[in-house]
Structure 1
Amino acid sequence: MIDHTGVIVSDFAKSKAFYQTALAAIGYTLIHEFPAEVTGHTDVAGFGENGKPDFWISRGTPNQPPVHVAFRVDDRRRVDAFHAAALQAGGRDNGAPGIRAHFHPDYYGAFALDPDGHNVEAVCHRPMESAQP
């Protein structure tokens, strides 16, 4: 079980705005933000749901190669909404919403590149009939 993860971003304000918009589509909000004066080294922001941040961004030199982060959702419409929101927030398309049968028959995912080129995904693993309320 993963407790939390994160990526390093080159433009903190731009990336924070990107993630606030893109992740809102899957129910995530900005929960905590700490400036370098508090952390002792860099600005950080934590996103999550139900008051628990599990995805963090921090200012610095982005990882090379870029990172891949996938957010699991229970509804295919949220995958679609994430992709649209990510593109609206300035992300670049890296795979439109759809079935990725090479992973498994019900793998419904969408991919966007964040401002630093990190591959961010929303994925629903539920069969079509149970993935839509």
Structure 2
Amino acid sequence: MFDHVKFGVSDYAASKAFFLRALEPLGVAVVSEGVPNYGVELASKSKASLCLFQTDEKPAHLHLAFKAETRQQVDAFYRAALEAGGRDNGPPGLRPQYHANYYAAFVIGPDGHNIEAVCNEPQA
């Protein structure tokens, strides 16, 4: 559905470092970058991308869910996000209230955003 999502962050360097490290297990890397007020575009092999830019405005809180191909990627995302300074908001595990194979982990990122990695596939 989305081509890209772009939002402002209060600390460009910290947010860029956090998202790069947290999303590395999902194959996300820098696609392009300009000055901080233009920002950075991050993407994996999919066509959709996440764009961050420096802003003086207080960013509204977001819930961003990133698709993982495997449950192991969800686990690796969670560990990497915590190591990058994220705060736990729900460890990896099944969330059967959503559906039987909804395996996800949640962290709070630098600007208070709820960042999720989710795999909707059954255990291999």
TM-score w.r.t. length of structure 2: 0.92
Residue pair 1:7, 1:62 contacting (<8 A) in 2 also: no
Q: In structure 2, what is the Cα distance between the partners aligned to 1:51 and 1:32?
A: 15
Matched, 1:125 2:111: no
Aligned residues: percent identity? 42
Partner of 1:18: 18
Residue pair 1:75, 1:124 contacting (<8 A) in 2 also: yes
Matched, 1:63 2:28: no
Unaligned residue ranges in structure 1 (runs of 5+): 37-41
Partner of 1:104: 99
What is the Cα deviation at residue 120 of structure 1? 0.6
Unaligned residue ranges in structure 2 (runs of 5+): none
Q: In structure 1, what is the Cα distance between the partners aligned to 2:7 and 2:94?
A: 26
> Which whole-Å deviations, capped at 9, do the CAs of 1:18-44 have from their partners, x for residues lacking one?
0110011111011111115xxxxx131
Larger radius of gyration: 1
Residue pair 1:31, 1:53 contacting (<8 A) in 2 also: no
Change (3 A) 1:106 1:51: closer
Residue pair 1:32, 1:53 contacting (<8 A) in 2 also: no
> Which whole-Å deviations, capped at 9, do the CAs of 1:88-117 have from their partners, x for residues lacking one?
001111110000111001000001111111
Partner of 1:81: 76
Change (3 A) 1:53 1:126: closer
Change (3 A) 1:104 1:22: same
What is the Cα deviation at residue 53 of structure 1? 5.8
Q: In structure 2, what is the Cα distance between the partners aligned to 1:85 and 1:118?
A: 16
RMSD: 1.5
Q: In structure 2, what is the Cα distance between the partners aligned to 1:17 and 1:9?
A: 12
